[in-house]
Structure 1
Amino acid sequence: MNVREPDWAYVARSLLKVLAVTAALFLALSAAERVLTMFIDFDDERMAQVYGTAARVANPDMRLTDGHGDDEGLLETTYTLWGEPRRAGRGEGWAGYEITKNLFGTVRASSLGESSGSLGGAITSMEADLGVDRELTEKARKTIDGLPQTLDAVAVVEFAHVMTTEQLVAFNRRHGLCGGADVAYIYSPSFYDDSSDDPSLNAVVWNRAMTEDRIRADLTYQCETEPEAALKEFRRWVGLLDEGDDLSDFELNYEWLNGTAKEGVVYGLVADRWKLADLRKLLDDPEVRTIHLTDVAFDLGEIK
C-alpha cells in the first residue's frame, strides 16, 4: 500500500493563510474598537463618577465605597462597588455590587437602584412641607426617651419645612452640629406618578463623601457650614451628567437631578451612627417635625 507524502508546501501555505486571516481579524477588531471609542463612552473614570455616584445617591440604605473597574471591551464595561447595609451596629460584611454599561449605553445595576429596609422605608415615606405635628413629635420623643441614650442609631431627621442652605447652617450652629460622613442631606423626597414616563423616582440623598474616591475635590469638612460645601459638590456632580446618561436602573433621571440641584433645599437628614442623646436634642427645635429611628445598637467598643 502506497502512502502519499504530505504536500508540505501546501501545508505551509495554508498555515500562513490562517495566520494572516487571524492577524487581519485582530487588527480589524482593534481598529473597530479605536473607532468606536470615538463615539461610545468606555471611560472607566466616568463610569465611577457618574454611575458609581448615582448608585450611592439612590441607595442611602447602604454604605457603598471603593469602586473599581474591570477589563473594558467592545460589548460591555463593568464597574464594581463594595458595600454593606447601613446599620447602627457592627457591619455584616462587605459585598460587591456590579454596574454594567453595554455598547449602546444601556446601564444595568440589578443589585442596586432601590432603597430597602427600614431606612429606605423612612426616606420613601417622606413628603414635602408637612408642617409641624406636635403629636408626631411627642411620639418620637417618647420612643427615644424609652431607650438608653448611649445607643448608636441610624435615623431620618424630618424637617417641618424645607430648609435653604443658609437656614440649615443656622440650624447646625444652634445645635453645634458638624457635617461629615455621618450626615447626608435629603435634597428631594421620592416621587411617584404612574402617568409620567418615569413613574417612580428615588429620593435624592447626598453626602460629599460620595464623590471622594474619584472626583477628589477639597473635602475638608467645615462643621456648621458643611451644607454649603455639600450643595456645591452636588451641583458640580450634576454638571458632569448628560441628558443621554441612562440612570433608569437607579430610578433617577437627568431632569430630576438637575431640578433638585437648582432648587437646592433640604427636606431632612440621614444621621448615621449618632448617639440617641444627640438626636433627642433636635426634637426640641420647632424646625424638626419628627425623627424616624431605623436601627439602634450598643457600641460594644465603648464597654471596657
Structure 2
Amino acid sequence: MNVREPDWAYVARSLAKVLAVTVALLLALSAIDRVLWLFIDFDDERTALVYGTAARVANPDKRLSHGHSDGGRVLGTTYTLWGEPRRAGPSEGGTEYEIVENLFGAVRAPSLDGPSGSLGEAIAYVDVDPGVDRERAEKVRKTIDGLPQTLDAVAVVEFAHSMTTERLVSFNRRHRICGGADVSYIYSPSFYDDSSDPASFNAVVWNRGMTQERSRPALSYQCETEPEVALAEFRRWVGLLDEGDDFSEFELDYGWLAGAAEEGVVHGLVVDRWKLADLRELLDDPEVRTVHLADVAFDLGEIG
C-alpha cells in the first residue's frame, strides 16, 4: 500500500492561518479592552477592597500600604500594592506587589502567598489555647534581659488562652496598649494538615487599618478599646466577601475567614517596632504564654 507523503507546504499554510487568526483575535480583544473601560464601570474597587485587603491579612511580614488599580479591563484587573518587609530597623525601600484578577475571577499574586522569614516563623508558633509555659517565658525573659531595653523589636505575643474582645480590652488597659498601626490581631493561627484539601491555610492577622484606603465611615475609638473596633471592622469586611472569591493565592478561603470572624477571639498579637522593655513587661502577665522575637534594631533617631 502506498502511503502519501504529507503536503508540508499545506500544513505550514494552515498553521500560519491559525496563528494569524489567533493573533488577530488577541489584538482585537486588546483593542476592545482598551476602549470599553471608557464606557463600562469595571469593579476594580472591589478587587482592591477584597484582594488588596486579603493580601494584607495573609502577609503580615510586610507593611503593605497604599495601592493603585489599572482601572479594570475586559481581560482582567491589576491592583498594585506598595510595601516593604516588616523589620525593626529603618526602611530599606519599598517595592511593588501585583494582584491580577482575570476575566474568569481567578487571582494571581505570586509574591503575596503568605508570611516568610523570622516573622513568618514566629506567627507559625502561635496555636489555639497552648496553655501556660513558664519555662518558655523565662527563657525569652533572659534573652530580652541580655539586650538593651531601648531596642526596637518586631515580635509576636502569644497568649496562653484565646482572648475574647472583653478580656483583650482589660489586657490593654493593664498594659496601656493603645493599638494602632503597630498592633495586629491573630484571629486564627495558621493551619497545616497534609491529609486535607487544601493542606494549609495562612494565619488570619488583622490590623484596624487594613481597609483604610477604601471609602467608609471614619473609625472612632478609645485607646485601649481598639479590639472592639478592630473586630467590628474585620467582620464588616468579611461580610462583603462572596463564597466564589478566589483566595487560594493567599492560602485563605471564604470559610476560613468567615469562621475566624464569627468566633472573634484573638490568639496573639503581631507588634511592630515596640521597645524590648515593653515586651519584657508582658512576660509577667499570666495571660501571655511567651514572646517570639522576629527582629530587633536600634532606633537611630534616638541616638545623639
TM-score w.r.t. length of structure 2: 0.86
1:174-231 deviations in Å (ceiling 9; x for gaps): 1111111110000010011223222110000000111101143323452110000000
Task: After TM superposition, list the pairs within 5 Å mapping 1:149-164 onto structure 2.
Answer: 149-164=149-164
Paired position in structure 2 for 1:218:
218
Paired position in structure 1 for 2:266:
266
Larger mean Cα displacement after TM superposition, 221-230 or 264-273: 221-230
Report the Cα distance in structure 1 between the residues aligned to 2:71 and 2:173, rounded to whole angstroms.
47
Task: After TM superposition, list the pairs within 5 Å mapping 1:6-45 onto structure 2.
Answer: 29=32, 42-45=42-45
Secondary structure at 2:111 match in 1: coil
1:55-93 deviations in Å (ceiling 9; x for gaps): 000000000011000142211210000000000010111
Larger mean Cα displacement after TM superposition, 120-129 or 133-142: 120-129
Paired position in structure 1 for 2:245:
245
Higher CA-based Rg:
1
Count of aligned pairs between the two proteins: 273
Report the Cα distance in structure 2 between the residues aligned to 1:88 and 1:289, rounded to whole angstroms.
22
Paired position in structure 2 for 1:54:
54
Name the amino acid aligned to 1:197. D
Report the Cα distance in structure 1 between the residues aligned to 2:76 and 2:140, rounded to whole angstroms.
48
Equivalent residues of 1:164, 1:265 under 8 A apart: yes
Paired position in structure 2 for 1:88:
88
Equivalent residues of 1:179, 1:222 under 8 A apart: no
Report the Cα distance in structure 2 between the residues aligned to 1:293 and 1:217, rounded to whole angstroms.
35
Structure 2 residue 138 is the aligned partner of structure 1 residue 138: yes
Larger mean Cα displacement after TM superposition, 183-192 or 66-75: 66-75
- In structure 1, the gaps of 5 or more residues are 1-24
Report the Cα distance in structure 2 between the residues aligned to 1:138 and 1:216, rounded to whole angstroms.
44
- In structure 2, the gaps of 5 or more residues are 1-27
Task: After TM superposition, list the pairs within 5 Å mapping 1:222-301 onto structure 2.
Answer: 222-301=222-301
Equivalent residues of 2:118, 2:294 under 8 A apart: yes
**CA RMSD across the alignment:** 1.8
Report the Cα distance in structure 2 between the residues aligned to 1:265 and 1:215, rounded to whole angstroms.
27
Q: Flag as ranges the 4+ runs of structure 1 deviating above 6 A.
A: none
Paired position in structure 1 for 2:114:
114
Name the amino acid aligned to 1:118. S
Report the Cα distance in structure 1 between the residues aligned to 2:71 and 2:57, rounded to whole angstroms.
25
Name the amino acid aligned to 2:297. A
Equivalent residues of 2:44, 2:71 under 8 A apart: no
CA shift, 1:29, in A, is 4.5
Paired position in structure 2 for 1:11:
none
Report the Cα distance in structure 1 between the residues aligned to 2:255 and 2:156, rounded to whole angstroms.
25
Report the Cα distance in structure 2 between the residues aligned to 1:302 and 1:105, rounded to whole angstroms.
48
Equivalent residues of 1:158, 1:268 under 8 A apart: yes
Equivalent residues of 1:49, 1:215 under 8 A apart: no
Paired position in structure 2 for 1:22:
none
CA shift, 1:125, in A, is 2.1
Equivalent residues of 1:179, 1:221 under 8 A apart: no
Secondary structure at 2:209 match in 1: helix
Name the amino acid aligned to 1:70. D
Report the Cα distance in structure 1 between the residues aligned to 2:297 and 2:127, rounded to whole angstroms.
28
Report the Cα distance in structure 1 between the residues aligned to 2:217 and 2:152, rounded to whole angstroms.
30
1:40-60 deviations in Å (ceiling 9; x for gaps): x94111011100000000000
Secondary structure at 1:67 match in 2: strand
Structure 2 residue 62 is the aligned partner of structure 1 residue 65: no
Secondary structure at 2:286 match in 1: coil
Counterparts in 2 of 1:33 and 1:102: CA distance versus 1, 3 Å = same
Report the Cα distance in structure 2 between the residues aligned to 1:49 and 1:166, rounded to whole angstroms.
28
Counterparts in 2 of 1:92 and 1:216: CA distance versus 1, 3 Å = farther
CA shift, 1:124, in A, is 1.3
Report the Cα distance in structure 1 between the residues aligned to 2:50 and 2:42, rounded to whole angstroms.
13
Report the Cα distance in structure 2 between the residues aligned to 1:55 and 1:217, rounded to whole angstroms.
22
Equivalent residues of 1:209, 1:219 under 8 A apart: no
Name the amino acid aligned to 2:177. L
Paired position in structure 1 for 2:147:
147
Report the Cα distance in structure 2 between the residues aligned to 1:249 and 1:222, rounded to whole angstroms.
36
Identity level (%): 74
